[in-house]
Structure 1
Amino acid sequence: MTRDERIVVGLAYPPEWDRRPAGTIARDVRSVAEVDRRVVLTHCRLDAGDERSAALVRDLDVVVALSLPSDVLRIAPRLRWVQSVGAGVGGLVSRDVTAAGIRVTSASGVNAVAVAEFAFARVLAHFKRFDELRRLQAEHRWSPCHGTQLAGKTLGVLGFGAIGVEVALRARAFGMSVTAVRRRVDRPSPHADRVYGPHETHAMLAECDAVVAALPESAATAEVMDADAFAAMRPGAFFCNVGRGSAVVEQAMAAALRSGHLGGAAIDVARREPLPTDDPLWDVPRLVISPHSATAADAHFAGLYGLLRDNLARFLSGRPLINEVDPERGY
């Protein structure tokens, strides 16, 4: 088989990210190679300086990565398509990549269930006062501490993509009403009682007992949750962000928590990651922080390889790719 007959696919993410059993990983890698006889799969590093790695990268038609070096067009001149390891594509889409006609697809939705489970667990823990109950146990105190029933309350979802829909399904299973904000409002959703457009975000926030943000990173979603947005929320409401740190003005969230207007908040993402050890967010009352941990690595990579197989078959047959990014919008 000549070089022009091959499709070279490079796995350019650190292998240690995929913590599944070696046999499981090997099966997934084989399944990608078996999509078509022309597919050649290789592990590579886009930032490596050695001659062997450079030769591998020069041959790439497709790469699976989380970010691209600034000189990617020079080191990978054959590159035609980039599959993101994650839902975000901020480290992949650039003016040069777009101008070169390199297609970019996100991994949006491959681990939506795990992230939604995490977000809803935060909601549940807040209303059932699990943190206070844990403190009582640590203090050996038998002092009844009653939570609040979720059934009958309203959950709002900012960003009604794959994660947002999975959050809504869990909320409804607990008897909650669901409202959502999404770009398209011309079609009703079977998963929400009411859908608002982005310009109606504050009106939606005012209806909710809890809000989960699962927004993608884009110019349109930057700092959506600012001081005015937090002020629009119901007094005592709960806020959880599992989307992107750029969607939240963190000082405004902290102020709403310190004033008591917000009953509690949870963030799995931050504007700066890792969050510096001296960042004041660590000490904000009623704020729980997790280090970008909502995903489940095993489910994520199983879903990623399934998406890669499907998209590779589409790429080779000229069909539309799943999760292809609009370079103008960045999502």
Structure 2
Amino acid sequence: MVPTICVCVDGDSCAEVIDFLEKKLSGSVSAIVSGTDASRFAAVKADNDGIVLIILGSSAHAVIKDLCDDYGKETRRVKLIYSISAGVDAYRLSELQQELSGILFCNAQGCSSNILAEYVAFSMLYFNRSPWRLVASKNEKKWNRFNCIELRRQKMVIIGYGDIGQACGEKATALGMEVTGIRRSGDNKVDKFGVMVRGNDALDESIREADFVVGVLPGTHDTK
């Protein structure tokens, strides 16, 4: 069976996703169909052939509900659902348990961890180095001396110490920071990145001592 790729991606990223798929999957799929409304996939659904659904954004909830309405059947119409984002809260999956039964669902865990960790490191350096002063000096064509604050020995607390949190911790300890990672399974031990991993009961204490707090919690009922 040659699958049809259905792309439900909100915003301007859709064209980029389709272009990537066409380059990588040319000749190996039946067709690539895109849209953010279930009606866009009506013909594909009627064919009842194998579907791979690629999603990003809240519009995907209704599309999943429609394309996966053949629950209870031994052979499902949709064979695989792939979320471009690591976070899946926008899809409200808890409301789609019967629709998703028996369908492989994957997310992009790990794909963006490094770039997000780099952004966190950049943000901390931004506040400690005051680059706007450098820009002002350049525009004024003069040099005003000012003190910079080191990140070394400053304290960072990462709330939600999963894949993204660990990438943040690795970069922060490399800069000489003292890092605490908070997660439910924290065991008060230092991990391979030099991060002290603690449980939720240490959250308040850790935040009080922190210079920087990084929140990378998943969007769940418990974290809202």
TM-score (norm 2): 0.77
Partner of 2:107: 106
Q: Which residue, 207, 210, 217 being the options, matches 1:205?
A: 207
Quote the offset at 1:193 in angstroms. 3.2
For 1:24 and 1:47, the matched residues in 2 are separated by 21
CA spacing shift, 1:81–1:107, aligned 2, 3 Å = same
Partner of 1:119: 120
Quote the offset at 1:194 in angstroms. 1.1
- 1:104 counterpart SS class: strand
Aligned length: 210
TM-score (norm 1): 0.54
For 2:125 and 2:203, the matched residues in 1 are separated by 23
Quote the offset at 1:133 in angstroms. 2.9
Partner of 1:219: 221
- 1:91 counterpart SS class: helix
Quote the offset at 1:114 in angstroms. 0.9
Quote the offset at 1:111 in angstroms. 1.2
CA spacing shift, 1:10–1:29, aligned 2, 3 Å = same
Alignment-mate amino acid for residue 98 of structure 1: Q
For 1:184 and 1:132, the matched residues in 2 are separated by 42
Quote the offset at 1:21 in angstroms. 11
Supply the RMSD in Å over aligned alpha carbons.
3.2
Q: Which residue, 3, 6, 21 being the options, matches 1:10?
A: 6
CA spacing shift, 1:207–1:30, aligned 2, 3 Å = farther
Q: Which residue, 65, 68, 81 being the options, matches 2:55?
A: 65
CA contact (8 A) 1:92 1:104 kept: no
- 1:70 counterpart SS class: helix
Quote the offset at 1:182 in angstroms. 1.4
Q: Percent identity?
A: 21
For 1:49 and 1:21, the matched residues in 2 are separated by 20
CA contact (8 A) 1:120 1:171 kept: yes
The C-alpha deviation readout for 1:29-51, integer Å capped at 9, x for no partner, is 359x4xxxxx645233241645x
CA spacing shift, 1:14–1:73, aligned 2, 3 Å = closer
Quote the offset at 1:98 in angstroms. 0.8
CA contact (8 A) 1:116 1:167 kept: yes
Partner of 1:163: 164
Q: How does 1:223-262 map to 2 (within 5 A)?
A: none
Q: Which residue, 15, 24, 35 being the options, matches 1:45?
A: 35
Partner of 2:72: none
For 2:196 and 2:35, the matched residues in 1 are separated by 46
Partner of 2:85: 86
The C-alpha deviation readout for 1:115-143, integer Å capped at 9, x for no partner, is 11111101011111112332343444532
Unmatched 5+ stretches in structure 2: 70-76
Quote the offset at 1:181 in angstroms. 0.6
Alignment-mate amino acid for residue 96 of structure 2: V
